[in-house]
Amino acid sequence: MSAMRYLVISDAHANYDALARVLESLRYESVIFLGDSVDYGPQPAETLDSLKEVGAIMLKGNHDAAAAHGISCRCAEELRPLSEYTRERITMNLLSKEDLKFLADLPEKIELEIDGRRVYAVHASPKNHLYGYVMPDMSDEELESELYDLDPMSPFPRKLDHDLVLLGHTHRAMMRELSSLILNPGSVGQPRDRDPRASFALIGEEIKLGRIEYDVESTVRKIKDLKLEKWAEESLISILRTGSLDKVYHESEPQDET
C-alpha cells in the first residue's frame, strides 16, 4: 500500500491564482496549510474559501492573527507599511465577519502522524509560533536551538523529538536534517527567494520541495483593478514578478516610472 500523499503549502497571502494552480495541478490526498492566507494579495476571501473546500488542515499565521484580532503582524520593518496598508484596504474590506472568526479560531500549532512520522507543524517557529524566523542560512546550532516548543501555557520548554517539523513564515523554501527534518515549503503566493513560481512541498514515500508556474499577470491585473496608491501597487507587483523585495516602497518614497 502506497503512502498517503500530503501537499504542504504556506503563505498564500490572498494570491488565489497561485494557490488554485498548485491545488489543481498536483496529486495529493490531504493538504496542510501553515498559515497566512491573507494580506498583500487581491483575493483573500477566494483564497480562504479554496483552502476550506479542499479540507486543508490549517494553522494560524501572523497575518491571519493581525486581521482577526486587530493586532500588529510584527513583520519585518521594510514590509510593515505595505502589510498594514493592504490589510486595511484589501483584507478587512473583502473578508466577512465569519471569515475573520474562522481565522481567529485557527490553532497556532498542530501535532499529527503521517505514515509513522511524528509531525509538528507551526507557522513560524516552535519557539515563537507566530513571529519567529527559521532561516535557511542558519547554522546547525542556531536551528537546533529553535526546536523547543515554548508553549506559553507550559512552565517548561519542551525539546521536540518529532521526526518532521513543518514551518513557513520566511517565504523561503528549506529542507534541513538535524535531530528532526525541518521542512519549509516556501510561499505559495508570494515567494521571496528570487524565484516567482509558486512553492510547495510534498510528503509521501519521499519528501520533496517543488515549484510551479502560474499566471502572475492575472494576479497583477487584479491588483491594478483595486486602484491602490502607486507605492503599494508597484511594491506588490514587483514582489510577484521578481520573487524579491528589491523594490518595496513606502508611501513617501519615489517609485519607478512605468
pLDDT tens-digit map of 59-68: 999 999 999 9
Write the CATH number for 128: 3.60.21.10
Tell me if 124 is assigned to some domain. Answer: yes
Q: According to the model, what pLDDT value does residue 249 have?
A: 83
Q: According to the model, what pLDDT value does residue 258 have?
A: 40
Q: Cell numbers 547554522 label which residue? A: 139
pLDDT tens-digit map of 3-28: 789 999 999 999 999 999 999 999 99
Residues 23-39 have a mean pLDDT of 97
Taking each helix axis from N to C end, the angle separating 216-225 and 230-242, rounded to the nearest 10 degrees, works out to 170
Residue in 10, 6, 5 with CA at minimum distance from that of residue 198: 10
Tell me if 219 is assigned to some domain. Answer: yes
Tell me if 97 is assigned to some domain. Answer: yes
- Give the residue numbers spanning the domain of 36: 6-242
Non-local (6+) Cβ contacts of 255 within 8 A are: 230, 231, 234, 249
Tell me if 151 is assigned to some domain. Answer: yes
Q: According to the model, what pLDDT value does residue 257 have?
A: 44
Quote the CA–CA distance of 231 and 252 in Å, as a whole number.
Answer: 8
Q: Tell me how many domains the chain contains.
A: 1
DSSP string, 167-219: --SSS--EEEESSSEEEE---SS---SS--SEEEEEESSSEEEEEE---HHHH
Tell me if 250 is assigned to some domain. Answer: no
Give me the sign of the Cα torsion angle 181, 182, 187, 191.
negative
Name the least confident of 22-26, 85-89, 246-250: 246-250
Q: Give percent of the chain with pLDDT exceeding 70.
A: 97
3-state SS, one letter per residue, for 52-100: HHCCCEECCCHHHHHHHHCCCCCCCHHHHHHHHHHHHHHHHHHCCHHHH
Tell me if 254 is assigned to some domain. Answer: no
Residue in 229, 236, 224, 136 with CA at minimum distance from that of residue 186: 136
Tell me if 19 is assigned to some domain. Answer: yes
Q: According to the model, what pLDDT value does residue 252 have?
A: 55
Quote the CA–CA distance of 58 and 9 in Å, as a whole number.
Answer: 10
Tell me if 101 is assigned to some domain. Answer: yes
| Amino acid code (one letter) for 99 | D
